[in-house]
Structure 1
Amino acid sequence: MKNSDNVKILMVDDRPENLIALKAVLESENYELFSVKSGEEALKYVLKHDFAVILLDVQMPGLNGFETAEIIKKREQSRHVPIIFITAISKANEHVSKGYSKGAIDYLFKPFNPHILKSKVKALVDIYKKQKEIENDRNELEKKTTQLNNDYKNLEHIIADKTNELVMTNKELQASQEHFRKIFQSSPNLMAIRSKEDQRYLNVNKSWTQFTGYDLREVEGKTGDFLHILPNCENMEKVNSPLDLDEGNYNVTITYKTKHNEVREGFLSTESTIINGEACVISVITDVTENIKLEKEISRLDRLNLVGEMAAGIAHEIRNPMTTVLGFLQLSKSEQHKTSPTNDYINLMIEELNRANGIITEYLSLAKDKISHKKVQDLNTVVRALTPLLQAEALMENKNVKLNLSDCPHVYIDEKEIRQLILNIGMNGLEAMEETGVLTIKTYTENEEIVLEIEDEGAGIKEEIISDIGTPFFTTKENGTGLGLAICYSVAQRHSANIDIESNKDGTTFLIRFPKSSVLEVIS
């Protein structure tokens, strides 16, 4: 049963099963949970409701998590709503940093720990309630002030009422200070208050002492640089004063040292304020050391799992041609076949060995650390050079290849790898079409990206298998190896490009998006 006083929490994920899992963890009589499946739908809810916290999936069709968070933070009424990113796609440190730069206050990876998620949401809800109390107190005070100004016209009464107002204000300030103190001490982040004048520590919260190993008595009133905070990014300018006294920081990636010289990682934000008439800086460090360790361990396990899956796939694919060759050699060796093997046997064995060699060659093309010979060049030139080959293949089956190329900035690419990508996707498109079908290749710019679009007029890809496209050894062809599209995804990754797939009953479109920024970095 909904209560008008319930705190509202927004959960955004394009997968219904993930929303069900989040709801199961957070279900409470004190929370009113809202579940939406897209960034666009989330923005509509943010316009209508006041949320205490937003749980936001990163990888979604349409508006992804980063774009949705950026829009929410640009809106005045919602920019203070805390956002927790929840994802299982990318765990690289720069990816995490991007999440925090878009306004997230935390970052959880699937599968998440229900207890950790529940406790973090509870802490944010408590902060939200305290902020609401302060806001309500402030609104109430404003109402009282307006009422006093309207009700009393004579000077004596005004003076008397102003005196009462000051008393009330002092009480409200005391109450607000108490609220701040509770929020300060209960925050899961490391928080410290330092004087701007002499850099001494005025106060630190419980999380600060737990993470750093220092006791409050060891730092209170002291001016030493206890944490040795250093920027953990190359483009961050060095500062003479301690980084936690440099006001205006927002989620800066840093490292800091504990009392026992353990180096930990986090994100630093700072804000200047006046406390008891003294100019101060409040610093907040979100410690992500354990998250990074967990991320590296999960990445290592994922790589081991992928190696196992690929090894099994290779063994299965190569065993078939090897079995054929072995069978013919044993047959030739048997007593009833003392003569040399026939040309048919030899040709078949050579064909099978070539197939095995092709599988190994394609597998090696998947290597992430494969050396690419990139240079800045015209993508349209690469497409035109490859078109006669595709056109010849198309004409053999009464099909056609059509080009629609626009003037685009040059891209930083390995021509041979991009030719292979276009050829793999183009040949797949030709095979998917009936006679008279047209394969269309387009190039154009969109936002900050250069797009290569390859569209066929086939029957489309079933929705339930689109997510498996590009997985090594996954194929719908009777004689396919399942490595062609996997190679395309590997090439795209080496070029910092993304591959999107749009498919319906009228055909399938592959969109390869190259970032303009990569070319600008090379030129500069």
Structure 2
Amino acid sequence: MLMKEMSTNEMLQRIESLEEENYRLREKLIDNSRVIVELEKLLHEKYHILEGITDGLVAVDHEWRYIYINAATYRFLSKEKEEVIGKKITDYYPQYAEPLIAIKNRGKKCKLSAVLEEYSKQNDRWHEVLIYAVSTGYLFFFRDITSRKKAEEALIRSEERFRKVFQKSPLSKHVLKLSDLTIVAVNDSFEEVTGYSRGEVIGNKCEDLAIADKPDNLMELEEKLLQYERFDGLELNITTKAGEKRTMLCSAMLIEFNDEPCVLISSEDITERKRFEEDLRLSEERFRMVFLESPIPLCVVDTDSKRILAVNRSFENTSGYLREEMIGKTAVDLDFYYDLEDRNGSMNLLGIKGRYQNLEIKLSRKSGETMVALISAESITIQGRRCFLFQVNDITEKKRLEQELLQLARLNVIGQMSAGIGHEIRNPLTCVRGYLQFLKARNELAIYQDHFDVMIDEIDRANGIITEFLSISKKSTSKKELKNINEIIRKLEPLLQADGINSKIEVSFQLDQNIEDLMVDEKEIRQLILNLFRNGVDAMSEGGTMVVKTLKEDQNLLIIFQDQGPGIPEEILKNIGVPFFTTKENGTGLGLAVCYGIAARHNGTIQFDTSPHGTTVTVRLKRLYT
């Protein structure tokens, strides 16, 4: 009975306790239902907005259970709505428990309470998680920051590369704060070039350390940077810690360094290059001076194109061309070579050996005058360009003097011979001629009259040759008087014109009226003029013009004969004036030898200039008229 009552009381107490718990649960359920109703009402009103945002949105109650998830969050969670609604967020993300407890303890509402960053291996995405405490629970915003994180990672890698490149660059690099141009970073090469350590320069200005010789250059650098953001090619002179002067070629650009606008300056030490350039400039200047002012004619020709690149003043004087007329042209364009075979042979020799020395070659001046030159050539390189350097030594006058000396030597030998044997030959011939005349006068020998006449004529011709032979000798006497060469030529003019008419050529006289009288042997000068004139006429074909002119030249008087014949071949030119050398069928070979003798006795010379267009013979007599 007692046990039963106790059981009843116990049951009553249990029932009462259950009713109280049921009431609390019902109140709580009513509260949760009210929250849910309010939240659902709010969500319903803003649903179209919440579902449209790209960030993930999650609402949980105070028990951390999911009560709303927008579409963007499902993509992030990769789960269906039914799987997560009503479940605790910490079931999926236990790491949120700590910040949620901290937020609850702070008791803040409707303010940003926590910021987290999370990485999802499942979809390789980064999200920023923003947690807000609200009256109904907590709101989670998930913002995709993958692009930002990748950019940050790329920036970190870039900065790491920058640090490596910056520190290990062979160029000197330093960073200046744009606001006051203080140094905030330097690399190893900067320390090596300047001699300053990082600790000595960081926080200081270049001009404070006397590194920059001209602070104005730094101001110019700053102005250009503000205008162009970067530029290259500024030369700065610096002074190292040891006091050594260095020249730096700088480039600069604006950068962000430690979240501040700065200037990155990269500098190449060009001190040695500048010294080399200066040495090269001085060397080129010296070469240019030596080249331009050299008394030896010099010419630089491009190896490939064979075009003239440079000539000096002596070359201009020798060739007769101005520099502007030659640059860019070839020797063939300018007809430098008298014979193209000489040009081809010399260039072939250059191609094989790369150089040659003292080749004797005939060249043509701009005036058409021929000259003899010793040419040397050398392969050189000018500013990376392969060239030939030609040295032209004009030996025309030397060759002329040699020819004159040779001629004089020949005349001297012949003169000595003629003086010795002339009379010895003439005396027997005179005796023979006398006997022939005696025999011719005898009646019984009249039938041989014609034979005697032929023999006497031949003896007379031999005597004439001996007379010419004797006239070559310098020992021959000559009677010199003060005469005018023009007057001598005018006296001969009818005879010369007659020779021209007979040969069907025109004769032109160009006599300088300013010439002075000379001490000459008129008879010998007449003979010289006739011989040289007739040689020119004989060399011409019908229809040409033979020119005879006189000219005053310094202390000399010139008698010039210009024909329009085919020129004199080289092998014949070498033998001109040699006694008994002739190209005429009935010539004696003494005419020019006599002319040389006459010129020598008048302290003069004879010069031949020949080309395929004709020959010019110049008799040069010194004015000895006292």
TM range, smaller chain: 0.3 to 0.5
Higher radius of gyration, 1 or 2:
2
- Higher RCO (CA < 8 A, seq sep 6+): 1
The structure richer in strand per residue is 2
